[in-house]
Chains A and B, each alone.
Chain A
Amino acid sequence: MTPDDPHDAVVVGSGAGGAMAAWMLAKAGASVLMLEAGRNYSPDESPMLNMAMDAPLRGVGTPDKEFGFYDATVDGGWNMPGEPYTMAEGSEFMWWRSRMLGGRTNHWARNSFRMGEYDFKPKTRDGLGEDWPVTYEDMAPWYDRTEKLVGVYGSNDGLENHPNSGPGVLQPPPKFRVWETFLKAGGDALNIPVVAARRAILTKKIDERSPCYWASACGRGCSIGAAFQTTTSFIPWAQATGKLTIATGAMVYEVLLDANGKATGVRYIDKATGAHKEAKGRVVVLAASTGETARILLNSQVAGRSEGLANSSGQVGRNLMDTVGSSVSAYFPQLEGRPRYNEDGAMGLHAYIPFWDYKRIQSGEVDTPRGYHVEIGGSFGDPGMGVGGGLDGYGSSLRADVKRRYGSRIGFTQRGEMIPNANSFCSIDTNTKDRFGIPVLKFNFAWSDHELKQVTHFQKSMKELIDKLGGTLVSEPLDPSKAISKGGEIIHEVGTARMGADARSSVTNQFGKTWDVDNLYITDGSVFASKAHKNPTITIMALAMRSSDNIVTRLRTGEL
């Protein structure tokens, strides 16, 4: 089939949420048209074992390639030429996008922590934010299926609000490295858990994907298929069914409705020719990413209404959330001059610190309502352009200092829960259009006191851990208002079309189906009702799988 033919389903976006939906639907026998704004891409383009030395400027980030030369991002980053967004006065928001098949799954860090029972019912626990229309028990089987399919390494530690996976679901985690074992010793003494991280990386072969070969940064894309990305999994699998048609360079800007208010397809710009085209389907699935999906809804014209599509609740664009981020780092004299070995491993977390202080939140001893986890780094890696940081002098003493300090610094990064607030949302900026003539998004963003207090908790706790291990902070932590990340900076933006229990207070039901349009679904992060500290993508995929299953059932019964 071609993009001009009517399909059973039109899926917008090929990232985590879009590709999961496309594969689930194609596997069930539905014909699927995937529209992707970016260019075609496969990780065969990944410079797997290139050295920093082979790249311009040793691969450091530049305004062209902000996360470094070898980062897989195509035609994207914090700034996209010709595709701006704006910010309300006094607001700062950072929006990382890419324009490529597979979206940001080509270079995400693959950290995959499932949400727990507290995370789905936060309002019930502390009265803040919103509850989800699903419980953890509802989601557990979908997490199991998603993790098994995707391939996630990790361990089941039975910790509070960090649920175990089902039997046989997880892949074995890689061994801790020396500095991780060192941290664990300190953590054990303070009752701060340091446990195996969970990442969407294979340590055992499944299907045609190879296990990790312990080299090459995952952000470059993984051409051997070990690090999960949709371009080595869902997309080729869906193509293999013969049911998937892909149109790249297809910038969708509007959902089409018939006289009865049912979606008939979408309108897009074919970037190669500039032509405006229509794609038709029985069901429309939006997964263009949190901001972009809200933009398409808000830009869609609905006869007799001014608020855009699927927005009778007024919640489209509202409840914009990102992860709370801040960091500290320390030198540990005890780690100086330690014996060398290959610490590349899975080029990311083998261990992490899950949130541990729920009891003291409950008792009121801790004044921040929600938790965070800590991602840690400290391996002997390619020294990189930062290797001289903090060093002094010159000559042979300098050479000795470089070697002594190598591998003795550990970085601690907070990843925390944000509670939705009325000051954080996106809307259409009617004064600004992108190079295609599509009105752009305008962001409002503000943290609240809850998040700032959480930063303080993190700073204090890490200081205790660092002290216990005899480390010295590289620099004193900043005031939380300065230490906290900017909105969007952690690239976990979610929530602009939240799911909920009723049409009055939410945009979709628990299956991502919009309340207002019966055959319009959303399967990206915009449906999040809260932003637990857990990185969102594994949950985006589990929800997308569950919602797609609902679509399949309804296609089969002829409801759609």
Chain B
Amino acid sequence: MTDMKTLVTIDRRVTLKWLMGALAVGQLAACGDGAKGLSWAELEAIKATGVGKDPDLINPSVPWPLTLTAAELEIATDLVDLILPAEGDNPAPSKVGVPAFINEWVSAPYPDQHKDRVLIVNGLAWLDEESKVRNGVPFIRAEASAQKLILDDIAFKDKVKAGLEKPAEFFGRARSLTLGAYYTTREGWADIGYIGNQPGTGDYPGPTPEAAAHIKGIIEAMGLKYTPA
């Protein structure tokens, strides 16, 4: 295991190396972020056509080409599965199409998605660089435990390692996209317990007896009156 002192040195090296790589890739945004002044490469906006103002709503299609490379998708796959590992009957995000969704998202010709693309594309490259420096191998070749050590520095908002604010921002977006994509699938619905989108006949049944009893208990424990309507 590397001691604290070496880690710090290595980190500075990573930063420098990353900066050089980014410079080589293209124009570097001049604005700094935070004390370390690290900036990520701006990417050219995607110019594909969007869905337009009157798309076929019943048979939707994604009109824009996907842009992530195979290598980027591999990193994304490992990342999303670290964010929300499989558990019991609940599959890992990569098993329900989350990496492909992230590709669709960052390839979309819209301003919000463009911002995410800059974060995600740079962030995936950062993970790889960071892993090479820390572990001597690209991110996807690193042991899960080593991958997690990297995430531990960027995944917790009160414990972001100094200088890693930008990677932390990237991670926040990656987490948000992963959760959104995952919990909108049937598998995600099963995990979170969403049981709607089911047309029914007759009156709306309202809370189940169990749900009603539960809220009654809560309301009464607060000294309030339970009057269902």
Which A residues are within 8 Å of any B CB, using their own CB? 39, 45-47, 49-58, 62-65, 69-70, 72, 74-77, 80-81, 172, 174-178, 180-182, 184-186, 188-189, 195-196, 203, 212-216, 220, 334-335, 338-346, 351, 380-389, 391-396, 398-399, 402-403, 406, 469-470
A338 to B156, CA, bound (A): 26
Given A56-B108, A57-B108, verify A387-B224 contact (CB < 8 Å). no
- Among B51-59, B68-76, B121-129, the one that faces the other chain is B51-59
Q: Give the contacts of B157-200 with A (CB-CB under 8 A).
A: 157, 175-181, 183-186, 188-189, 191-200
- Whether A175 pairs with B194 at a CB distance below 8 angstroms is no
Asked whether, in the complex, the Cβ of A62 is within 8 Å of the Cβ of B108, the reply is: yes
- In the complex, which residues 39-73 of chain B have their Cβ closer than 8 Å to any Cβ of chain A? 50-55, 57-58, 60-63
A11 to chain B, nearest CB (A): 24
With A182-B218, A186-B224, A402-B192 as known contacts, state yes or no: A52 contacts B83, CB within 8 Å. no
Which single residue of chain B is at the shortest CB-CB distance from A52?
Answer: B184
Pairwise interchain contact A395-B82, C-beta atoms closer than 8 A: yes
Please state if B111 and A213 are interface contacts (CB–CB under 8 Å). Answer: no
User: Which residues on B sit within 8 Å (CB–CB) of A47?
Assistant: 57-58, 60
Contact indicator B195/A340 (Cβ below 8 Å):
yes
B229 proximal to A (CB < 8 A) = yes
Q: Is B57 touching A50 in the complex (CB atoms < 8 A)?
A: yes
CB atoms of A215 and B199 under 8 A apart:
yes
Are B229 and A196 in contact, CB atoms less than 8 angstroms apart? yes
Which of A74, A185, A395 is close to B226, meaning CB atoms less than 8 Å apart? A185
Give chain B nearest CB distance to A331 CB in angstroms.
Answer: 15
The answer on a CB contact under 8 Å between B110 and A63 is yes
A387 to chain B, nearest CB (A): 5
Residues of B within 8 A of A65 (CB): 51, 53, 55
Centre residue among A58, A180, A188 by max chain B CB count within 10 A: A58
Separation in Å of the A152 CB from the closest CB of chain B?
A: 16
Return the contact of A383 from the options B156, B157, B183, B205 (Cβ within 8 A). B183
Interface of B is mostly: loop
Q: Say how far A90's CB is from chain B's closest CB, in angstroms.
A: 25
Q: How far is the CA of A343 from the CA of B198 in the complex (A)?
A: 11
Q: Which residue of A lies closest to B62 (CB)?
A: A56
**Do A81 and B228 have beta carbons less than 8 Å apart?**
no
Which of A57, A195, A470 has the most C-beta atoms of chain B within 10 angstroms of its own C-beta?
A57
B204–A53 contact, CB under 8 A?
Answer: no
Q: How far in angstroms is the closest Cβ of chain A from B136? A: 24
Docked CA distance A386–B173 (Å) = 11
A64 B51 Cβ-Cβ under 8 A: yes
B57 touching A62, Cβ below 8 Å:
no
In the complex, B142 has a CB within 8 A of chain A: no
Residues of B within 8 A of A381 (CB): 194, 196
B5 within 8 A of A: no
| Contact status A182-B215, CB under 8 Å | yes
Checking A53, A69, A189, A391 against B179 with a beta-carbon cut-off of 8 angstroms, the contacting residue is A391
Q: Is the CB of A388 within 8 A of B192?
A: no
Q: Whose C-beta in chain B lies nearest to the C-beta of A47?
A: B57
Residues of chain B lying within 8 A (CB to CB) of residue A62: 50-51, 108, 110, 112
Q: A64-B51, A175-B229, A182-B219 are in contact. Are A388 and B194 (CB under 8 A)?
A: no
B179 touches A341 (CB 8 A): no
What is the CB-to-nearest-CB distance from A470 to chain B, in angstroms, rounded to a whole number?
Answer: 7
A387 and B196 contacting across the interface, CB-CB below 8 Å: no
Taking A399-B84, A399-B87 as known contacts, 12 extra A-B pairs with beta carbons closer than 8 A to each other, sorted by chain A number, are A57-B108, A63-B110, A64-B55, A69-B51, A75-B54, A176-B228, A177-B206, A182-B215, A184-B227, A203-B203, A215-B196, A388-B176
- Residue A58 contacts which of B101, B157, B196 (CB distance < 8 angstroms)? B101
Q: What are 6 A-B contacts defined by CB distance under 8 Å?
A: A46-B57, A47-B58, A62-B110, A338-B215, A341-B208, A383-B179
A49 / chain B contacts, CB cutoff of 8 Å: 197, 199
Closest Cβ–Cβ distance, residue A395 to chain B (whole Å): 6
Which 6 pairs from chain A and chain B are nearest by CB? A175-B206, A385-B180, A388-B179, A340-B193, A344-B196, A383-B183
